[in-house]
Structure 1
Amino acid sequence: MSGLWVFVCGPSGAGKDSVMGWAATQLAARQDIVFARRMVTRPSHPGSDHDVVTADQFARLMDGDGLAWRWEAHGFHYGIASRYAALVAAGRVVVVNGSREHVNTLKSAEHLRVVQIEVAPVQLAARLAQRSRDTPQEVAKRLARNALFSNLHSDCTIVNQSALADAGRQLVAYLMASRPAEQITSQANYPG
């Protein structure tokens, strides 16, 4: 039996981390759906959803087959530990906080799904400005960069423009429906 990788991606400011966090909380008791922790060569900040590694540690992980997935974005290295590949092989759904640029390079595969979190450009610009992490020029660059991913293939698109729970419920429903058929049958009576 084989499980699935589900890459969740979207532009900075679309609320991807919040939607995934909401869904992870709702699915915390489930063992068949796992939210992977990323390893990133970037310092941690409040609300970070990654484990900090140095560039040397990351290189050793790559050399030692310690990573199932890896990519670069915004000058940092991102990776998903190989132990998650064992969970997919065991039939679990492993959810990854991914990068649109990385996902764009992946070939379509039976064990791979892509969920895209989107928001209207006006609301996205307002969210980015409200965060006060980027200068107005950097916000403009981020918004312009979105055009590069206008044709990104996704198996599910979630528009996160109203209550967080609305988008979160959509992700939960998609993940529940994405479970391999064997798991759905064997867990039909699961009170989740």
Structure 2
Amino acid sequence: MSTAQKTGAWVFICGPSGSGKDSVIAYAQQALAARSDIVFTRRFVSRPVHAGSDHDALTPAAFAALAQAGGLSWHWRAHGFSYGIARHYDEAVGAGCLVIVNGSREHVNGLPASPDRLVLHITAEPTALAQRLLRRGRDSAEAVARRLERNADFDAMPADCVIFNDGELADAGRQLANYLEESTLSADAGPTQRAR
């Protein structure tokens, strides 16, 4: 009797501004540092790096050249910049690893369903999102309101797991780490899960 061959998968983690997505991913990455079968990608972005950046900078011209040469597994545009994931991560998926991408809702929402792709949505209640956006001071109240209105475009976005980051960061981070640890990585990924 043969057993199902486990295969690797891409996990795209998306979320609205103010959801704390980057912090939740960083928490899970640290918690899973000993797991060689769970790989967190580092992105190329066409903007400069600063202290604590989680990406490698490329000029727009260099980014375009890399994409044209087939050096990226995935690439998209968001907030006026280009984002990409290096082609070498394909090897990790091929080796059976779960490969994590800090993604874009608009990009992921346009991808066809695939057994080697999981989508995880990190979000928070609208009042929490608004408070965080106002607290960080990058946007006016009007701009924050527009961001929250735009979130409605993704309310029906399919996801294999939804995590609400409304409380302590450790709670959401642990939920993400647990989800990744428990994923079977099989071609017939399990039913949709909702964590809160």
- Whether TM exceeds 0.5 here: the answer is yes
**Paired residues for 1:27-176 under 5 Å:** 27-176=32-181
Q: How many percent of aligned residue pairs carry the same amino acid?
A: 54
If each structure's helix is expressed as a fraction of its own residues, which one has the higher value? 1
Secondary structure of 2:84's aligned partner: strand
Measure the CA separation in 2 of the matches of 1:180 and 1:111. 8
Task: Give the number of aligned pairs.
Answer: 181
Secondary structure of 2:48's aligned partner: coil
Cα distance, 1:75 vs structure 2:
1.0
In the alignment, residue 171 of structure 1 is paired with which amino acid?
A: L
In the alignment, residue 99 of structure 2 is paired with which amino acid?
A: V
Match of 1:9 in 2: 14
Q: Is the 8 A contact 1:32 1:93 kept in 2?
A: yes
Measure the CA separation in 2 of the matches of 1:150 and 1:101. 12
Cα distance, 1:51 vs structure 2:
1.0
Cα distance, 1:23 vs structure 2:
0.2
Q: Is the 8 A contact 1:41 1:77 kept in 2?
A: yes
TM-score when normalising by structure 1 = 0.91
Q: Is the 8 A contact 1:93 1:179 kept in 2?
A: no
Cα distance, 1:137 vs structure 2:
2.3
Cα 1:124/1:133, change in 2 over 3 Å: same
Measure the CA separation in 1 of the matches of 2:146 and 2:56. 27
TM-score when normalising by structure 2 = 0.89
